[in-house]
Amino acid sequence: MALIAWNDKLSVQVRQFDDEHKKLIVMVNQLHDAMKEGKGKQVIGDVLNGLINYTKNHFAAEDKLMKAHAYPDYEKHKKEHNQLTLTVLDLQKGYAAGSAPLSQSVMSFLKDWLTNHIQGVDKGYGPYLNGKGVK
């Protein structure tokens, strides 16, 4: 059973970003399932690589759209993106150095990301961008 299921409370009301956030939930659930089976170490590398690609592409898309529509909290949001990216890179460095227990650290980070960034910070741009015609 999935740890996190997509629901309307997670929606930021911008289809492209909701679809991308769903991919993040898939990564959370993949890691959670592996950890439940005692295989967290086997999948953590793939999850971290996926997170690095995700942060690069997803944040670039969000930043571009917010900037194009003069989102008033753009600079603050960009700083959060930069911090999340640094955290993902630090987690990957820890993985490469053989740090343990990394699976739990990554899981905690991902759950925090979903709760605080997506359900908190990202929710702010939805109504603004909707008002600019972005759905």
What does the pLDDT look like over 23-45, one tens digit per residue? 989 988 988 888 888 888 888 88
Do residues 43 and 30 make contact, with C-beta atoms less than 8 angstroms apart? Answer: yes
| Maximum C-alpha span of the chain | 47
Mean per-residue pLDDT over the chain, rounded? 89
Report the CATH superfamily, name and number, of domain 15-129. Answer: Hemerythrin-like (1.20.120.50)
Peptide bond into 101 cis (omega under 30): yes
* Best CA proximity match to 61, nearest among 17, 110, 19, 123: 17
What pLDDT does 36 receive?
87
DSSP-derived secondary structure letter, 64: H
Domain range annotation of the chain:
15-129
Is residue 21 over pLDDT 90?
Answer: yes
Express each pLDDT in 56-72 by its tens digit.
999 999 999 999 999 99
